[in-house]
Structure 1
Amino acid sequence: MMVEDRQRPARLSGFRVCLLGGAFFLALLAVLQPITRYEDCPNYGGNGNASAFANPAWDFYLMVLLFGWLVLVVLEQTLSITRRGRGRADFALRAAGAITLTTIASCGLFVNVAVLCH
């Protein structure tokens, strides 16, 4: 009788940090309530730079947090537990999907929020 002690790979393996980070940024933006319309910017009708946030430092903090999220997603892909029980092609597709999804979400979020009033 052959006993298999290998665990089934988790369905979210490789996407945990991606999904948790996305939820974190949705909650963060809900708390910070940035300006979402160009007409609501403090410098509307004039020139100069303004922030979409009440505290202009969040323009920088958001960029750093989004970059950190991308780094954490890449690091998650290098963990051996992420690759356990998967073939190379499946692992590569999951890694590429998680990194691509995070990059698109990060760039889209940063461009839409942090650059709105500049």
Structure 2
Amino acid sequence: MANADWDAFVASRPALAEVLRPFLRASLAEGALGVAQKELIVVVLLAAQGYEAGVRSHAGRALAAGASPEQLREALAMLIPFEGIGRYLRAAGWVEAAMDAPPPA
């Protein structure tokens, strides 16, 4: 799923984006944790920040990397004890919408 915020950042700050991209790729690369697991973590972190576009984008990436919808929902539920039910309920709608969207290119 595309992220218009990221696209705008790249367009307005191409030099910074060029430096940041390899760091992000390395952070999300297969390691002791698989890509799907890392994307699930990113979804929860971005949901905790209240960043809808990021949640939608990385939820799609998590699914594309092999995470199941149930894994995505369960990971997101970790918000409840640590960030509160309100944050979870808001982010849950974003995740459900991402599951209905076409897979990222």
Same fold, TM exceeding 0.5? no
TM-score by length of structure 2 reads 0.30
* TM-score for the superposition, normalised by structure 1: 0.27
Higher relative contact order (CA 8 A, sep 6+): 1
Greater gyration radius: 1
- Comparing both structures, which one devotes a greater share of its residues to helix? 2
